[in-house]
């Protein structure tokens, strides 16, 4: 069967179309015909060699498809079921332990840039009813990260009437906007593009800030709340934007630090964090139970992902080049 492999030391020119064998299904495992995947910053870091993997690694953390076979003792799934992958197959519930990172697809283990896989049952959940395979493939990383940032245990969680700040127009930010509006929140959205801001408004954003035109957008966001401050910030920039997120936040507010798009290190106003008694939480995707919770919420609220573009598996390098350009709005997907 067809598979994409990444040759060392990485780089888009090192993505090679090849083949791999489908392992026979064993106890507690299922085989899945993979029909779609979606691109995340984590995948980009892998294929460009910034996250080191063994020679020949099959990339892509997200996958969705149809069950081909089930092994002994499997009761959760049947042949023909539509499923979507989990980012941490070893993290089922509760707190994340160090072993959770040992099976991340496309990184610690071979991922979903292939036509079929055999994996443990814990590597999948059911897909939302009525979702296409491509829509389901957007949920594993981006969807669940946004869900956990706003609703997971210990984060608040988001309540009707709260104010949420989202940054940019990538998959996580758009999912966070959709989830927040479904929960009855007010959303402040930022982007460097007025055209993209208009599209965010059409998705329900209540207030818009062009951060390129307004360098002190954190103070502007604070003012938009009537000088109360934002309850939840979905922080995707990292050190480069964190001080603005702090400025936007209310006393006792919550900042979910989930990205580093604006830098890995920098000066952060720790005094402001203390004065405002903020909860700044580093967050990497979520567990299997949280994914099932998210899927129930998606079905209850008829939420559909925003898909920017679709590429064939053979065209995976160009899909990443499109991601690299920053022109996308929503998720870039692979279909095969």
- For 297-330, the pLDDT digits (tens) are 999 999 999 999 999 999 999 999 999 999 999 9
- Is residue 247 within 8 A of residue 121, CB to CB? The reply is no
For residue 53, tell me if it sits in a domain.
Answer: yes
Q: Report, as an integer, the average pLDDT of 54-64.
A: 98
Q: Mean pLDDT over all residues of the chain?
A: 95
C-beta contacts of 313-320 below 8 A and 24+ residues apart = 313/2, 313/4, 313/17, 313/113, 313/115, 314/17, 316/4, 316/15, 316/113, 317/12, 317/13, 317/15, 319/39, 320/12, 320/15, 320/39, 320/43, 320/44, 320/47, 320/48
CATH of the domain at 16: 3.90.180.10
- Is residue 253 within 8 A of residue 230, CB to CB? The reply is yes
Q: Are residues 176 and 188 in the same domain?
A: yes
Please tell me the distance from the alpha carbon of residue 124 to that of residue 120, in angstroms, as a whole number: 8
Q: Which two tokens stand for residue 158?
A: 């988001």
- The answer on pLDDT for 18 being more than 80 is yes
Cis check: omega of the bond before 9, within 30 degrees of 0: yes
What is the pLDDT at residue 265? 65
Q: Are residues 317 and 203 in the same domain?
A: no
Over its C-alpha atoms, the chain yields an Rg (Å, rounded) of 20
The secondary structure element, H or E, covering residue 243 is helix 239-248
Q: Report, as an integer, the average pLDDT of 162-187.
A: 98
Please tell me the distance from the alpha carbon of residue 236 to that of residue 256, in angstroms, as a whole number: 8
Model confidence band, residue 100 (pLDDT cutoffs 50, 70, 90): confident
Q: Which of 316, 312, 336 is nearest to 324 (CA)?
A: 316
Three-state SS letters, 28-59: CEEEEEEEEEECCHHHHHHHCCCCCCCCCECC
- 265-296 tens-digit pLDDT: 668 888 999 999 999 999 999 999 999 999 99
Q: Are residues 313 and 263 in the same domain?
A: no
Q: Are residues 259 and 322 in the same domain?
A: no
- Is residue 184 within 8 A of residue 160, CB to CB? The reply is yes
Q: Which of 325, 285, 297 is nearest to 309 (CA)?
A: 325
Q: Are residues 95 and 30 in the same domain?
A: yes
Domain range for residue 125? 2-141+286-335
Q: Are residues 96 and 225 in the same domain?
A: no
pLDDT > 70: percent of the chain:
97
Please tell me the distance from the alpha carbon of residue 235 to that of residue 273, in angstroms, as a whole number: 14
Q: How many domains does the chain have?
A: 2
- The answer on pLDDT for 260 being more than 70 is no
For residue 170, tell me if it sits in a domain.
Answer: yes
Of 242, 264, 282, which residue is a domain's last?
282
Q: Are residues 114 and 237 in the same domain?
A: no
What is the pLDDT at residue 267? 80
In sequence order, which residues have a C-beta less than 8 Å from that of residue 127 and are 6 or more positions away?
64, 82, 83, 84, 133, 136, 139, 295
For residue 191, tell me if it sits in a domain.
Answer: yes
Q: Which of 166, 169, 138, 144 is nearest to 62 (CA)?
A: 138
What is the pLDDT at residue 229? 98
Around 301, how many Cα atoms within 13 Å sit in the side-chain half-sphere? 17
What is the pLDDT at residue 152? 81
273: left (phi over 0), alpha (psi -120 to 50) or beta: alpha
What is the pLDDT at residue 287? 96
260 or 69, greater pLDDT: 69
What is the pLDDT at residue 259? 76
- 126-155 tens-digit pLDDT: 999 999 999 999 999 999 999 999 998 655
Please tell me the distance from the alpha carbon of residue 246 to that of residue 282, in angstroms, as a whole number: 14
- Is residue 332 within 8 A of residue 311, CB to CB? The reply is yes
């Amino acid at each position: 069967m067809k598979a994409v492999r990444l040759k060392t030391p990485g780089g888009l020119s090192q993505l090679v179309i090849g083949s791999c064998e489908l392992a026979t299904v064993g106890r507690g495992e299922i085989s899945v015909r993979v029909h779609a995947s979606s691109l995340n910053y984590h995948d980009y870091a892998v294929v460009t060699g910034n996250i080191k993997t063994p020679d020949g690694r099959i990339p892509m953390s997200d996958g969705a498809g149809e069950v081909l076979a089930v092994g002994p003792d499997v009761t959760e799934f049947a042949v023909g079921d539509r499923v979507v992958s989990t980012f941490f197959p070893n993290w089922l519930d509760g707190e994340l332990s160090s072993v959770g990172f040992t099976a991340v697809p496309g990184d610690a283990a071979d991922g979903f840039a292939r036509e079929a896989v055999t994996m443990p049952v814990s590597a999948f959940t059911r897909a939302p009813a009525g979702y296409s395979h491509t829509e389901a493939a957007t949920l594993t990383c981006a969807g669940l990260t946004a869900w956990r940032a706003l609703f997971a245990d210990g984060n608040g969680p988001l309540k009707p009437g709260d104010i949420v700040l989202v940054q940019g127009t990538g998959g996580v930010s758009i999912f966070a906007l959709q989830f927040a509006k479904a929960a009855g929140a007010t959303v402040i959205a930022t982007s460097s593009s007025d055209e993209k801001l208009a599209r965010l408004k059409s998705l329900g954003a209540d207030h818009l800030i062009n951060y390129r035109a307004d360098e002190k957008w954190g103070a502007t966001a604070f003012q938009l709340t009537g000088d109360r401050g934002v309850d939840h910030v979905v922080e995707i920039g990292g050190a480069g934007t964190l001080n603005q997120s702090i400025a936007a936040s209310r006393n006792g507010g919550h900042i979910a630090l989930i990205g580093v798009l604006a830098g890995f290190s920098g000066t952060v106003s720790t005094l402001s964090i203390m004065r405002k008694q903020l909860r700044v939480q580093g967050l990497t995707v979520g567990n299997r139970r949280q994914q099932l919770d998210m899927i129930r919420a998606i079905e209850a609220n008829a939420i559909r992902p925003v898909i920017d573009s679709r590429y064939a598996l053979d065209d995976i390098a160009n899909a990443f080049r499109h991601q690299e350009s920053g022109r996308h709005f929503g998720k870039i997907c692979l279909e095969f």
